[in-house]
Homo-oligomer: A and B are copies of this chain.
Amino acid sequence: MFLPRKILEEKLRNILAEDIGQGDITTALIVPADSTAKAEIISKETGVIAGMEEAKILLESFGFNVEILVSDGEKVKAKRILMKISGDTRTMLSVERTLLNIISRMSGIATTTRKLIEKIRKAKLKTKVACTRKVAPGLLYFDKKAVLVGGGDTHRLHLDDMILVKDNHIIVAGSIKKAIEKVRKDASFSKKIEVEVTKVKDVSAAARARADIIMLDNFSPEQTEKAVKLLKKERIFGKVLLEASGGITAENILAYASKGVDIISLGEITHSVKALDISLEITKSNKKG
């Protein structure tokens, strides 16, 4: 997920523009036009930091000198200084909130993702943790990037990305078999094909129709185990990837991971984010640049 700077700058500028409106009136009244300041961005909680690349590009494009002290993906303790910045005071105070909102949300996502992965790794399992497209509206890039920084899998980046046959597609197609056949026939060679199944018995139908990945939708850990057994019995286990999705939480994730699925995806990583507490503190302020 590498975006050249100018592309990212535009995304960031649009976010800022909404917040600024016709301009920061408080700052204009209090801060002289030519004053400069130094400041530190500080994490007030323990967590995994994300958004450093985005913050740097936002800040540099607004003319700041930026010194990054913590890399994307690094775990920090409370009170850790993430970056030091210096530049125009008016601009600093105008972008402060937007900047912190980006780092806070992205770090919150990375922190949650990392915790889930660590839980799985401690149990000596290799299951991947993935997010879904259940992001904050319009934040697909930022939310997916944060998952990646946290060590997770980004899953589909948008609807043109992988073929994912979901419940409503199957209703329209008539059956899993018909849906996959249609897709197999005309899909680009460059795409993987995933199918969502809601019952254990559909798993072998999906596997036999040569799906690359099968999503076990809202399966209980027991159903998941049955699905794995079925595939082993049919000697397809290991030839198709299995993704568990739906109803999985930090509490029950090991119950799923231990059944042998390859990927576990959770909507809540991105739709129910707990932001990390990040603040900007001015350390020095000069009236004249």
Contact = CB atoms under 8 A, between A and B. Distances in A.
A94 B140 contact: no
Nearest to A18: B140
A70 to B, nearest CB: 14
A102 B33 CA distance: 21
A10 B91 CA distance: 16
Given A136-B136, A158-B22, A275-B271, A1 B30 contact: no
A135 B138 CA distance: 13
Given A101-B134, A102-B137, A144-B22, A160 B1 contact: yes
Copies of this chain, whole number = 6
Q: Which of A96, A140, A243 has the most CB of B within 10 A?
A: A140
A134 B97 contact: yes
B158 A19 contact: yes
Contacts of A133: 19, 97, 101
A168 B137 contact: no
Nearest to A95: B4
Contacts of A186: 29
A22 B160 contact: yes
A161 B160 contact: yes
A114 B175 CA distance: 31
A157 B160 contact: yes
Interface of A: 1-7, 9-10, 13-31, 33, 35, 37, 39, 53, 61-63, 89-98, 100-102, 104-105, 108, 128, 130, 133-142, 144-145, 153-166, 168-169, 171-173, 179, 182-183, 186-192, 194, 213, 241, 243, 262-263, 267-268, 271-275, 280-282, 285
